[in-house]
Structure 1
Amino acid sequence: MTTTDWGWLLYGLLITFLSFVHLVRIEAWWVRIWDFPHSQLAVLAVVGLLGWALFVQDYSWPMWLAPAGLTAALAYQGWLIWPYTPLHPRQVVRQRRPRGQRGHAIHDPNTLRLLSANVLMTNTQCPKVLEQARLHQPDLILILEASHQWARELKPLEADYPYRILCPQENTYGMLFYSKLPIANQQLRFLVEDDIPSIYAQLTLRSGQVVHFYGIHPQPPSPTEHYRSTERDAELVLVGREARQQTEPVLVAGDLNDVAWSHTTRLFQRISGLLDPRVGRGLFSTFHANYFFLRWPLDHVFVSHHFRLRTLRRLPNCGSDHFPILVSLVYHPDPKRATQAPKPEGDDLEEAEGIVERSRE
């Protein structure tokens, strides 16, 4: 074999390995980080197949391992990503806008609009965030990576948002929650780690319907954040288990520091019974806002079967490394939808309990 043949063989084996290594249930960051770039790995698999077809002349053992592995990797990436394409049935039914209704003047008392934005703590472009709030007039605003400076800069919001849960911090995990809807019960919680907050709020729609809101932003597994994914996964499990116990509508939003197709996020959906409005519509990738070739969906919105979706949009960048997300939901219960909600499978409950226990070690 020539040097070129060996090069394409090693390239193919490397891409194949990186495509499947995340299936190993190891919680170390250097394994879990490969949950993220599956769309990028799909592109690299295509490059490998084209390179093998154009430049490799030796078809003997072990050269066939490269195209076989790359084909398997490409098929696997497609299987992970295809739910977030129009080819897949939608999890959340669309609620059409009534005839004659335009813009953002939604008068339905069962409508709920949320703006969620990871603003990047060091970002100084606060006026852009205020402009997005003014333009879209959301009922709820969730700000992540909020420092005390961000809390001061966003103070103009308080005139229109009388209900607030504010927890600015200087560790990139501060949270600010602004609501036009009354909050009957609110909790600022530290579910897993002492310096990583989450928010629970019992909201009341204009129709009088109660909605349980959870705002979360756990730490990611990475060499600069946390050496393992256990704590992130445990927070998702704890919120998911609580969400399933609610009989009233539930809304979970935030930067999960996890991608939509990961094992942990899919486990969260089965544990919680919540639906992903992106399924059947698109990826709505929010990170990294500055590098289109390194982009995946980290900012999430999950809803219970009580809701229909009016709009889901990725908004223009406000100076952060994340794009904001805007979602408009309508409380429209349908008993048939309840039977279609995700449910725990196999050893999901045991796995979830094990994750929580390991996070406490």
Structure 2
Amino acid sequence: MRLIVQLLSLLVRGAGLMLGLAGLGLALASLGGAWSDRLDALTHAAPLWLLMGMGAVALGAIFARGGERWAIVGLGGATILACAVMMLPEYWATWRFKPAMPVESDLKLVQFNAWHDNRSPETGLAWVEAQNADVVLIEEGAGGAAPIVKALKAQYPYSSCDRVAECETWIFSRKTMLARGGVPTDKPFLAGAWATLADAKGPFTVMAVHYTWPIPAGPQQAQSRKLVQFLSGFDKRDTILTGDFNSTPWSFSLKRQDKALGLRRWTRALASWPAGQFSRLAAAPAPFLPIDHVYAGSQWRAVKIERGPAVGSDHRPVVVTLRRLP
């Protein structure tokens, strides 16, 4: 019996050591994303590296003794510190946000990747309808999500596209669309739509985009550069940008984009993926990656930021209420 206990202790201590070594190695490699797009792909999994560090600290502190304990706990602590360098600024920005009570003149918008494999579009549609938003921005509006787009097109007086089968990204608005269009189709391809809307305080532009995955490295960064260049043709002070960026806020790619866009990202550490039955084999009890974002120019201030429920898509929707400043 004593031998079994010793073997189990050795196994647990070994697991703590491996968690510490692997977590620290991956976290340090992620920091290399400041210089390498390939290494930057690792930053999106920073929450996992953080859990590995925490596991190493817990197992080392409980089951190890002497120098072995200090080694395992030290590895775990260093992993936690490396992850904090990447993630803590985002959570600090979240804590600093001060919500306010929405008023009738505020602009309420819904950002939603409706998912082309949506298995219950009627659930997503019912939720969107209940929001009674001024503007709804949809990505992956084809396939299983087409019923959502078709119904919204009938309900909203203005939309960014004429035919349901022609567009992947959509903007629906209760405000008059003075102009509308898509992102140029030259390479790298970027699914997107924009519309300039009439408003009592002056027209403003809303835009929705959908990025590719961060792996392999390169294409997503090219899409980001294309968006920055395209956005330079609009007045950034009144522009609102939303989308599924497939990029977490602790990645160096998104941090560089935040600076280059000249807009403020209001969604901070708001996890939106995965949601519900996000694959045939896996279901998510809660999202853990913030990849759906809402930016706005200097004329706007967010007064309320919410994450919606799982409504058939592999993304949770995001609801942001913006107030236009004088």
Task: Report the CA distance shift for 1:194/1:76 in structure 2 as closer, same or farther (over 3 A).
Answer: closer
1:203 corresponds to which residue?
197
TM-score by length of 2: 0.82
Give % identity.
19
Q: 1:7 to 1:318 in 2, by over 3 A?
A: closer
Find out whether 1:285 has 2:271 as its counterpart: yes
User: Which amino acid is the alignment partner of residue 284 of structure 1?
Assistant: L
| Counterpart in the other structure of 1:59 | 67
Written as runs of structure 1 = structure 2, the 5 A alignment for 1:152-191 is 152-166=147-161, 174-190=168-184
Q: 1:18 to 1:197 in 2, by over 3 A?
A: same
CA distance in 2, matches of 1:22, 1:187: 37
AA partner of residue 53 (structure 2): A
Within the alignment, does 1:150 sit opposite 2:133 as a pair? Answer: no
Q: Quickly say closer, same or farther: Cα 1:168–1:36, change in 2 above 3 A.
A: farther
Q: Is the CA contact (8 Å cut-off) linking 2:170 and 2:208 kept in structure 1?
A: no
Offset at 1:190? 4.1
- Give the distance between the partners of 1:237 and 1:300, measured in 2 at CA: 17
SS at match of 1:302: strand
Aligned-partner SS, 1:219: coil
The amino acid of 1:209's aligned partner reads G
CA distance in 2, matches of 1:78, 1:293: 22
Report which stretch shifted further, 178-187 or 160-169: 160-169
Q: Determine which of 19, 22, 26 is the counterpart of 1:14.
A: 22
2:110 maps to what in 1? Answer: 115
Distance in 2 (CA, whole Å) between partners of 1:148 and 1:16 is: 41
**SS across alignment from 2:211:** coil
Please give the TM-score of this superposition, normalised by the length of structure 1: 0.75
In structure 2, give the amino acid aligned to 1:96: M
Amino acid at match of 1:331: R
Q: Distance in 2 between matches of 1:33 and 1:169?
A: 33
One-letter amino acid of the counterpart of residue 52, structure 2: L
RMSD over aligned CA atoms reads 2.9
SS at match of 1:264: helix
Alignment of structure 1 residues 222-261 onto 2, 5 Å = 222=215, 227-228=216-217, 230-243=218-231, 246-261=235-250
Q: Tell me by how many angstroms 1:285 deviates.
A: 0.6
State how far apart, in whole Å, the 2-side matches of 1:59 and 1:272 are: 49
- 1:30-72 deviations in Å (ceiling 9; x for gaps): x444222222322221110111122233517xx8554333212
| Distance in 2 separating the partners of 1:124 and 1:69 | 44
Question: How much has 1:261 moved relative to structure 2?
Answer: 1.8
Looking at structure 1, the residues matched to 93 and 141 of structure 2 have their Cα atoms a distance apart, in angstroms, of: 37
Partner Cα distance (2:287, 2:24) in 1: 19
Amino acid at match of 2:254: T
Are the aligned partners of 1:257 and 1:298 in contact in 2 as well (CA < 8 Å)? yes
Q: Which amino acid aligns with 1:72?
A: A
Equivalent positions of 1:305-320 (< 5 A) are: 305-320=298-313
Of residues 291, 300, 305, the one that matches 1:298 is 291
Q: In structure 2, what is the Cα distance between the partners aligned to 1:38 and 1:327?
A: 26
* Conserved? CA contact 1:241–1:271, under 8 Å: no
Report what 2:82 is aligned to: 76
CA contact (8 A) 2:198 2:204 kept: yes
- Alpha carbons of 1:148 and 1:15: their partners in 2 closer, same or farther (altered >3 Å)? closer
Tell me if structure 1 keeps the 8 A contact 2:275–2:286.
no
Amino acid at match of 1:274: L
What is the aligned counterpart of 2:314 among 318, 321, 325?
321
Give the distance between the partners of 1:59 and 1:191, measured in 2 at CA: 60
Size of the aligned set, in residue pairs, is 306
The one-letter code of the counterpart of 2:159 is R
In the TM superposition, 1:126-145 aligns within 5 A as 126-145=121-140
Contact 1:95–1:308 (CA under 8 A) maintained in structure 2: no
Contact 1:191 1:198 in 2 (8 A): no
Match status 1:96 vs 2:101:
yes
C-alpha displacement of 1:86: 6.3
| 1:59-97, Cα deviation, whole Å (9 max, x unpaired) | 17xx85543332122123234333444676646x64434
